[in-house]
Amino acid sequence: EVQLVESGGGLVQPGGSLRLSCAASGFSFSNSWMHWVRQAPGKGLVWVSRINSDGSTTNYADSVKGRFSISRDNAKNTLYLQMNSLRAEDTAVYYCARAPPSFDYWGQGTLVTVSS
Amino acid sequence: QSALTQPASVSGSPGQSITISCTGTSSDVGAYNYVSWYQQHPGKVPKLMIYEVSNRPSGVSNRFSGSKSAYTASLTISGLQAEDEADYYCSSFTTSSSWVFGGGTKLTVL
């Protein structure tokens, strides 16, 4: 059974940092491109970032470029998202998902709240 | 990286068919056949319904179908059922090696 389990969310002050993790199982993680997608409360899905299978190539949405960093540890079957200089508008549920090119597996999401 | 354009809401009666449009540009929808559609019920995780414009994953009802013409992709749901009431999102790969979602469409089954 495919499982993606996110962790690391929580309440953080503006300007703060947080590191999200996504533990994968049930599929070939090391051969899969992985993504982070977020959804602000009551809003739509927004693509955040992706990393290729060996971690050598990454891409980011303009809204997070320079502040967020995606990485992976294939030995641990784990995906990460390091989030720095957090803003109120980063408040959202963050999902990890597998693609390309379609997001076929999704985690349950972890809530990040940026507030003072 | 502007969001793809979807209608905010659509509605239909049980048994009817509805179509949700998803309009992009030459840099996304018009560039590749990598358009996909997702269903999301309130408080739930998005579910892949259509991939690569018109393909259904295993287990998805054949009442769901997809198509594309130029810069606009479409999701059609035939024989509407109460359980189809949900939010629907389209997504496309882009020429910038990024992905973009539509703003979402709320489907109401009357």
Q: What DSSP string runs through A12-30? A: E-TT--EEEEEEEESS-GG
B contact test, residue of A102, A104, A105 with most B CBs within 10 A = A102
pLDDT given at position B2: 86
Gyration radius of chain B's alpha carbons: 13
Using CA coordinates, name the residue in chain B closest to A109: B45
User: What sign for the dihedral angle of Cα A33, B36, B90, A2?
Assistant: negative
Query: Which pair of structure tokens corresponds to residue A51?
Result: 């990393």
pLDDT given at position B10: 98
Contacts of A108 in chain B (CB under 8 A): 45
> Would you place residue B98 in the very low, low, confident or very high pLDDT band (cuts 50, 70, 90)?
very high
| pLDDT (mean) for B50-77 | 97
The single-letter code of the amino acid at B29 is V
pLDDT given at position B81: 97
Q: From residue B26, give the alpha-carbon distance in Å to each of A21, A26, B70, B92, B98.
A: 35, 37, 8, 11, 14
For residues B105 and B91, what is the distance between their CA atoms, to the nearest angstrom? 12
A contact test, residue of B4, B99, B100, B105 with most A CBs within 10 A = B99
pLDDT given at position A100: 75
Residue B87 predicted with pLDDT over 90: yes
Strand partners, A71: A80
pLDDT given at position A68: 98
pLDDT given at position A79: 98
pLDDT given at position B35: 97
For residues A22 and B27, what is the distance between their CA atoms, to the nearest angstrom? 30
User: What sign for the dihedral angle of Cα A91, A92, A95, A99?
Assistant: negative
DSSP codes joined into one string, B9-51: EEEE-TT--EEEEEE--TTTTTT-S-EEEEEE-TTS--EEEEB
For residues B85 and A84, what is the distance between their CA atoms, to the nearest angstrom? 37
**Given strand B64-69, what is the order of strands in its sheet?**
B18-23, B72-77, B64-69
Residue A14, sorted as left (phi over 0), alpha (psi -120 to 50) or beta, turns out to be beta
pLDDT given at position B1: 72
Residues of B at the A interface, defined by Cβ within 8 angstroms: 1, 3, 32, 34, 36, 38, 40, 45-48, 51-52, 57, 87, 89, 91, 93, 96-104
Tens place of pLDDT for every residue, chain A, 116 residues?
999 999 999 999 999 999 999 999 999 999 999 999 999 999 999 999 999 999 999 999 999 999 999 999 999 999 999 999 999 999 999 999 998 789 999 999 999 999 99
Asked if the Cβ–Cβ distance from A101 to B93 is below 8 Å, we say yes
Strand partners, A72: A79
Asked if the Cβ–Cβ distance from A101 to B48 is below 8 Å, we say no
The single-letter code of the amino acid at A107 is G
Measure CA A107 to chain center. Answer: 10
Instruction: Convert the pLDDT of each residue in B2-41 to its tens digit.
Output: 899 999 999 999 999 999 999 999 999 999 999 999 999 9
Query: Which pair of structure tokens corresponds to residue A2?
Result: 């495919």
B103 CA: distance to closest CA in chain A (Å): 6
